[in-house]
């Protein structure tokens, strides 16, 4: 489980889950931090929504537009799909676990 943070805490627009870290989906080492750029894709680890960074310095995202998802490389879309299936199968992160992880 990730314990370091590379972004200021901010609530995702989808479900209000507060995030404070990001990883590079193209790098299989998910514990490695990656500073996002404007337009980079993010997945909400609580509800699986696909988001886009609009202000990485403040950790602000918005919902991704369908065209933004459709124009991603096939391998990236596959990874997003696998992540979403896992998140949906697992369900929302219990509030107690969020507190324990510092979220």
Among 11, 15, 82, 97, binds Zn ion (CB under 5 A): 15
- Give the nearest residue (CB) to Zn ion: 44
| Contact between residue 22 and residue 35 where contact means Cβ atoms under 8 Å apart | yes
Q: Closest CB to Zn ion among 44 and 80?
A: 44
CA distance 34 to 55: 15
User: Measured between alpha carbons, how far is residue 44 from residues 40, 66, 89 in Å?
Assistant: 13, 16, 14
| Contact between residue 9 and residue 20 where contact means Cβ atoms under 8 Å apart | yes
Among 44, 64, 80, 87, binds Zn ion (CB under 5 A): 44
CA distance 87 to 81: 10
Q: Closest CB to Zn ion among 15 and 75?
A: 15
Q: Is 18 in the site for Zn ion (CB under 5 A)?
A: no
Among 5, 10, 14, 40, binds Zn ion (CB under 5 A): 14
**Planar angle of CA 70, 57, 4, nearest 5 degrees:** 95
Q: Which of residues 47-76 bind Zn ion (CB under 5 A)?
A: 47, 49
Stretch touching Zn ion by CB under 5 A, among 4-12, 34-42, 58-66, 71-79: 4-12
Reported as type and span, the H/E element at residue 19 is strand 18-19
User: Could you list the residues that contact Zn ion (CB under 5 A)?
Assistant: 12, 14-15, 17, 44, 46-47, 49
């Amino acid at each position: 489980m990730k314990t370091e943070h590379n972004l200021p805490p901010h609530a995702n627009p989808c479900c209000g889950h507060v995030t404070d870290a990001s990883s590079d989906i193209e790098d299989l080492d998910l514990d490695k931090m990656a500073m996002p750029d404007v337009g980079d894709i993010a997945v909400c680890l609580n509800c699986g929504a696909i988001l886009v960074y609009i202000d990485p310095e403040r950790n602000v995202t918005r919902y991704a537009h369908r065209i933004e998802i459709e124009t991603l490389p096939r391998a990236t879309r596959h990874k997003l799909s696998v992540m979403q299936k896992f998140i949906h199968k697992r369900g929302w992160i219990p509030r107690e676990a969020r507190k324990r992880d510092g979220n």
